[in-house]
Amino acid sequence: FSVKDIPTKPYEGQKPGTSGLRKRVKVFQQEHYTENFVQAIFDSIDAKDQTIVIGGDGRYFSPEAVQIILKIGSANGVKRFIIGKDGILSTPAASNIIRKYKAYGGILLTASHNPGGPNNDFGIKYNVSNGGPAPEGVTDKIYEKTKTISSYKVLEAPEVDLSTIGETKYGPSEVAIIDSVADYTILLEEIFDFPLIKEFLESHKDDFPILFDGLNGVTGPYARAIFVDTFGLPESSIQNCVPLPDFGGGHPDPNLTYAHTLVEKVEADNIPFGAASDGDGDRNMIYGKGAFVTPSDSVAIIAHWADVIPYFKKGGVKGLARSMPTSKAIDLVAQKKGLEYFEVPTGWKFFGNLMDAGRLSICGEESFGTGSDHIREKDGLWAVVAWLNIIAAANKKSPNKLVGINDILNEFYSIYGRSFFSRYDYEEVPSDGANALVKNLNDALASGSLNETKHTAGKDNFVVSSIYNFEYKDPIDHSISKNQGQVITFSDGSRVVFRLSGTGSQGATVRMYVERYLPPSASPEELARPAAEGLQSLIDVALEISKLKAYLGVDKPTVIT
């Protein structure tokens, strides 16, 4: 076989963010751009004679990128590639494949919930052998390599047909094209009480219909296999479940703003349980008629109900965790159950070490990410099926009254109290303004100028008790991650967090997270209030303290979740 060295020059800015390298498709299409990054990955790992998994959400430019990875990977000595049919594997499915077939690592072609198509985003992410996103040590190394690259290696061979399941040879390498869905369905079947869920859904097909919306992302075929083929639900229980390279022109992000196809149908048809997932299948939203579950509550509730899920009943729950901006609801569950719990920086890669060390079972992020140690990525369908398992179990205990989402929420609040939580996103704002906002907070932190200051909004008063810049020391490998967000805490226990996004592909995105806790002793009416009402005064104070509108030159956030 002939391997060729192709001369190239470094491109600036190939720095992986919170979850891989994400840029506009047009950027990836520049001559040598994708090749440089892929060669930098192989220069940073030792994949010679190893197995590498390739998958992704099937977005525009994926087929071309798969062929590039094959050419460069094979020339760099990869022995075997395992590839989802047509290059498709959801992010959680890819994590499972890496683990199940003991691969050395995997390359995932996705920009997650970012829109796709020729004028939108593409992304490349490297995952390590535990199935999780590469830790910072590896991504830093990849970035360093991109800065000095002078050539990349390619195998000269005809393209591989990605559409036929089976084994083929590719130069000196083996290629296995696998069914994208089968291993994942087996995985969920081992985790959850499928017979219980099936029986519940069957016996309540009239008063508890469900709807899953794939938002034209990668989860469609997975959802069909589970809801229609396995649970025997009607075709009407899934929608937008054919993956499209541009997601049908939509923004495949499961939240109240972007998942409007789900929200509209749930409202119009009075559907008690709806759910959606993002482009690459790792996020989820649970939304029924008149009932919305915040992701921070969702993970806490799954932890509270863990013992109705066979996987946790059998293996036990080792520990719980959340990302820093996520509400502290899950901490309360850990305290009550006497479990260890952790607060890590934003991004799923920080959970992996704790899981590998056997200290973490269930974790989540406020950004609609929920998951467990069954794999090393967050898992959208896992969370949806977890909720169905919980609801089926709750109804078994309550044969005379149908238990729905709000009953589960209200019972949880009556035990633990409620953490009202909201996130404001200011997308694609000028980087200068975003940096100035952060600098202003850091200055206040250094000088102590905000400490003990009193702020009034409406009839509420807030006194600043501390400001800090979140820093994390990994308890397992002791690596330190600095500058993970500015946190302002108040004397009543409320807090506000500011962070710059690490997943955007254009300009800067500022995220503001607000959280306010009400104890279980509060009245049921107080506890059941809409989050926006419970939080308004704190939001006003956060905007005042940060001078956000002045720095960013905008009046309103682009998205509120």
Active site residues: 112
The radius of gyration computed from the CA coordinates of the chain, to the nearest angstrom, equals 23
Which 8-state DSSP code applies to residue 320?
E
Query: Which residue in 14, 120, 486, 501 binds ligand VG1 (CB under 6 A)?
Result: 501
Is 18 among the residues that bind ligand VG1 (CB under 6 A)? yes
Kindly tell me which of 44 and 112 has the beta carbon lying closer to ligand VG1.
Answer: 112
CB of 554 to ligand VG1, least distance (A): 18
- Given the complex with ligand VG1, which of 92 and 534 has the nearer CB atom? 92
| 367 interacts with, out of Co ion, ligand VG1, none, CB within 5 to 8 A per kind | ligand VG1
Q: Dihedrals φ, ψ of 520, to 5°? A: -60, -15
List 39, 180, 346, 546, residue binding ligand VG1 (CB under 6 A): 346
Q: Does 112 bind Co ion (CB under 5 A)?
A: yes
39 binds Co ion (CB under 5 A): no
From the list 57, 213, 282, 365, which residue makes contact with Co ion (rule: CB under 5 A)? Answer: 282
Encoded tokens for 88: 């498709």
Spatial CA neighbour of 334 closest among 307, 308, 309, 300: 300
Q: Quick one: which segment of 23-31, 77-85, 135-143, 498-506 binds ligand VG1 (CB under 6 A)?
A: 498-506
Q: Contact between 113 and ligand VG1 (CB under 6 A)?
A: yes
Residue 503 is a binding residue for Co ion (CB under 5 A): no
Interface characters, 503-522, with ligand VG1 (x: CB under 6 A): x-------x-----------
Count Cα atoms within 13 angstroms, Cβ side, for 391.
28
C-beta closer to ligand VG1: residue 280 or 331: 280
From the list 215-223, 344-352, 399-407, 489-497, the region that binds ligand VG1 by CB under 6 A is: 344-352
The two structure tokens encoding residue 93: 């499915």
**Total residues at interface with ligand VG1 (CB under 6 A):** 18
Please give, one letter per residue, the 3-state secondary structure of 514-539. Answer: EEEEECCCCCHHHHCCCHHHHHHHHH
Q: Are 534 and 294 in contact (CB under 8 A)?
A: no
Q: Which does 239 bind (CB under 5 to 8 A by kind): Co ion, ligand VG1, none?
A: none
CB of 253 to Co ion, least distance (A): 8
Q: Does position 251 bind ligand VG1 by CB under 6 A?
A: no
410 vs 320: CA distance, rounded Å? 22
10 Å Cβ neighbour count for 32?
17
Count other C-beta atoms under 10 Å from residue 229's C-beta.
12
Pair 516, 528: CB distance under 8 Å = no
The beta strand positions in 399-501, using DSSP E, are 418-429, 454-457, 460-469, 472-473, 480-481, 486-490, 495-500
Candidate list 248, 502, 522, 540; residue touching ligand VG1; CB under 6 A: 502
| Kind plus residue range of the DSSP H or E element containing 55 | strand 51-56
Q: Which helix or strand (DSSP H or E) is residue 30 part of?
A: none
The binder of 284, among ligand VG1, Co ion, none, by C-beta within 5 to 8 A per type, is none
Residue 121 binding ligand VG1, by CB under 6 A: no
Q: Which stretch binds Co ion (CB under 5 A): 278-286, 314-322, 351-359, 520-528?
A: 278-286
Q: Which residues contact 308 (CB under 8 A, 6 or more apart)?
A: 193, 389, 390, 393, 394
Of 422, 418, 423, give the one whose Cα is nearest residue 526.
Answer: 418
* Closer residue to ligand VG1 in complex, CB, 58/404: 58
**Region binding ligand VG1 by CB under 6 A among candidate stretches 101-109, 205-213, 222-230, 276-284:** 276-284
Phi, psi of 453, rounded to the nearest 5 degrees: -75, 150
CA 355 – CA 323 distance, rounded (Å): 14
283 binds ligand VG1 (CB under 6 A): yes
Q: 123 vs 272, which CB is nearer to Co ion?
A: 123
Interface positions with ligand VG1 (CB under 6 A) = 18-19, 112-113, 278, 282-283, 323, 346-348, 365, 367, 369, 501-503, 511
